[in-house]
A and B are shown apart, each in its own frame.
Chain A
Amino acid sequence: MSNMNQAMVEKYRNDFLKEVKANVEEGDWVQMCMQCGVCSGSCPFGPYWDHPPQELFMMIRAGKREEVLSSNSMWMCTSCYNCIARCPRELPITHIMHGLAHYADRLGLAPKEQPTRKFANRFWDNLVKKGRVNELKLGVSLYFMNGFIEGIKTAMAAAPLGMGMMKAKRLSPMEYFGGHGVKDSKGLDAILKKARQIEDEKIAKYNS
């Protein structure tokens, strides 16, 4: 259990809703849910979630901290915004899902092998290098995410697609060596450094 997680458990005791309101992005909306269930019914991935959004909200109120934070449910959100469009109380449900996922990740409770989480981390690492996503590198790293043999197989299967994209000038093999980026790379570094500093300070509070 991470230090921050331990500190949060002690700070909020049995009041998980309070914890969510204070720490999760858009978390203060959770209390506005009236449990009508329209978000769960509207979610195109709904059948594959352990706990659809409105059940997560009820679990937060019921104080089921471990079950919520270690759940893979909020990681299933594809940001289609169906739930936000239909919610009768205008809860930003998509954003709450991402907020919960991020909070769980920060506490070290998110399921390690959750593919969305793995992808998100790879996407981020790829993006921060140059300020632009290097699609070739991202794609190749995804192919080999689950081992070398599977990577080769996936790459072979996707070869015609890659060739087509090269032909249409949507993908350049030269991207593998360096690749394109933002003009002001120093400025980008400064932004990311500042953001990292704020994030570290938040977490460091609980490590002292």
Chain B
Amino acid sequence: MADIIATNETILVVGGGISGMTAALEAAECGKQVILIEKGPSVGGRVSQLYKYFPKLCHPTCGQEINQRRIKANKNVRLLTMTEVAEVSGEAGNYSVTLKTAPRYVTENCTACGDCGEAVEAEFDSEHNYGLGKRKGAYLPHQMAYPQRYVLDPSIIGTPDATKAKEACKYDAIDLDMQEETTSITVGAIIWATGWRPYDANKIQPYGYDRFANVITSVEFERLMDPHGPTGGKLLRPSDGKEAKDIAFIQCAGSRDRNYLKHCSRICCMASLKQTTYVREKYADDGKATIYYIDIRAIDRIDDFYQNVKADENVSFIKSKVAKIEEDKASGNPVLHGVNTEGYERYANPHDLVVLAVGMEPSVASEDFPIKVTVNDNGFIEQDEANGAIFAAGCASDALDVNRAVQSATASALRAIQVVNKVAGMEG
């Protein structure tokens, strides 16, 4: 990509989720040159996989659309999708960065008409749906994907499916000879907005996520609510497709636990409280939600939200870290075992579906960063002078909700702007 112009007054933002988009836009709207790279085929990150945000319960598609429009309208942002950082060297104000761009096999001629998707037969687990549904070998990552351009799965290249896709395209937008590209650029400051990933629930052995179909994670539950999701927006449980009307939420699944993640992931209490409103939205008084918790950490202004959920008669709270889950073979119901610490009552409660409120861990392990960065005990990037002009935005810096991630991203944009301003001053 010879047309990328970057100087040491340019800011590189790594990661196109809500934090990366925010950091890039804040800097660009201040007149700085920004390169925003995203490893996936479209921007939006994990926020685009949510059904609703808390506490206002609006749909992320709205906020995403605003950000996408801002990117489109701003000539200072250069967005590169399917791109990762391979190497970084240098110091504050002068970093040499090597970028690797994976082939998309679809050019800018694409109109997202979908003909290639229909022509291709191969199917793969849908990343956007956390593997709950399938997508084609030629696909649009999701409805709101930006750029609105299809992508071919690299594993269909060289198969008859690839030829079918090419033949189906009316706009000559498929280029099967596309190769991986390497680009070297110079930038003044780098913002890691590499985000988070849900903690691997398979590691929580007593909860049987790996063994019981009807034990799912909170991020998967979000996908069930999406009208374009794997169940068409219905709360159907995986084992038999039955409507799940009695749903248990297990808090601190992987968080605040020295066997898994030591830190409190902060978002999961609010996420589960929010998800109880989904149960009400679907079933009104016929739905039942039960939250198993150690303590509810709905902080500052969002305590109102907690109070409102508490007032809902169909939502009950059991103060207990669930000891283990077993499955009732006949009904497929997960049965939760433990002790309610308020009254010390032992319970064995069957539910239709169990949602594990999984914790947040940094999506890039500290040893995998191409240049050394200081991280804390939990793997999140610290604000540290030793990092030079490398700053963290959003969930790369801590377990944060969307609101705080955006604040963090704005702060990192300001820090990066100070670096490039200094460079500009010296070059004066």
A interface list, Cβ under 8 A from B? 34-38, 40-42, 46-47, 51-52, 54-55, 85-86, 88-90
Cα–Cα, bound, A37→B294 (Å): 8
Nearest residue, chain A, Cβ from B340: A37
Asked if A86 contacts B259 (CB within 8 A), the reply is yes
Residues in A whose Cβ lies below 8 Å from that of B340: 37
A35, A54, A88: residue with the most chain B Cβ atoms closer than 10 Å: A88
Asked if B258 contacts A89 (CB within 8 A), the reply is yes
B interface list, Cβ under 8 A from A? 206, 252, 256-259, 294, 319-324, 337-341, 344, 346
In the complex, given contacts A36-B294, A40-B323, A86-B323, what are 5 additional A-B residue pairs having Cβ atoms less than 8 angstroms apart?
A: A34-B256, A34-B294, A36-B321, A41-B320, A86-B259
Cα–Cα, bound, A51→B341 (Å): 11
Cross-chain contact of A52 among B258, B321, B324, B339 (Cβ < 8 A): B339
Cα–Cα, bound, A40→B339 (Å): 6
Residues in B whose Cβ lies below 8 Å from that of A86: 206, 259, 323
Given A40-B344, A47-B346, A52-B344, are A88 and B339 neighbors across the interface (CB < 8 Å)? no
Residues in A whose Cβ lies below 8 Å from that of B252: 36, 88
Residues in A whose Cβ lies below 8 Å from that of B339: 37, 40-41, 46, 52, 54
Distance (whole angstroms) from the CB of A59 to the closest CB of chain B: 11
Asked if B257 contacts A41 (CB within 8 A), the reply is no
Cα–Cα, bound, A160→B152 (Å): 72
B257, B320, B321, B337: residue with the most chain A Cβ atoms closer than 10 Å: B321
SS of B interface (majority):
loop
Residues in B whose Cβ lies below 8 Å from that of A51: 344
Asked if A38 contacts B258 (CB within 8 A), the reply is no
Cross-chain contact of A54 among B206, B259, B324, B341 (Cβ < 8 A): B341
Nearest residue, chain A, Cβ from B348: A41
Given A36-B294, A37-B338, A38-B338, are A88 and B321 neighbors across the interface (CB < 8 Å)? yes
Cα–Cα, bound, A35→B339 (Å): 11
Asked if A42 contacts B324 (CB within 8 A), the reply is yes
Residues in B whose Cβ lies below 8 Å from that of A38: 321-323, 338
Residues in B whose Cβ lies below 8 Å from that of A88: 252, 256-259, 321
Residues in A whose Cβ lies below 8 Å from that of B321: 36-38, 41, 88
Residues in A whose Cβ lies below 8 Å from that of B337: 41
Distance (whole angstroms) from the CB of B351 to the closest CB of chain A: 16
Nearest residue, chain A, Cβ from B342: A37
Asked if B344 contacts A41 (CB within 8 A), the reply is no
A35, A38, A51, A55: residue with the most chain B Cβ atoms closer than 10 Å: A38
Residues in A whose Cβ lies below 8 Å from that of B259: 85-86, 88, 90
Cross-chain contact of B341 among A35, A85, A89, A90 (Cβ < 8 A): A35
Nearest residue, chain B, Cβ from A89: B258
Cα–Cα, bound, A90→B340 (Å): 20
Asked if A42 contacts B344 (CB within 8 A), the reply is no
Residues in B whose Cβ lies below 8 Å from that of A41: 320-324, 337-339, 346
Cα–Cα, bound, A35→B340 (Å): 10
Cα–Cα, bound, A42→B338 (Å): 7
Residues in A whose Cβ lies below 8 Å from that of B258: 88-90
Distance (whole angstroms) from the CB of A35 to the closest CB of chain B: 6
Distance (whole angstroms) from the CB of B38 to the closest CB of chain A: 35
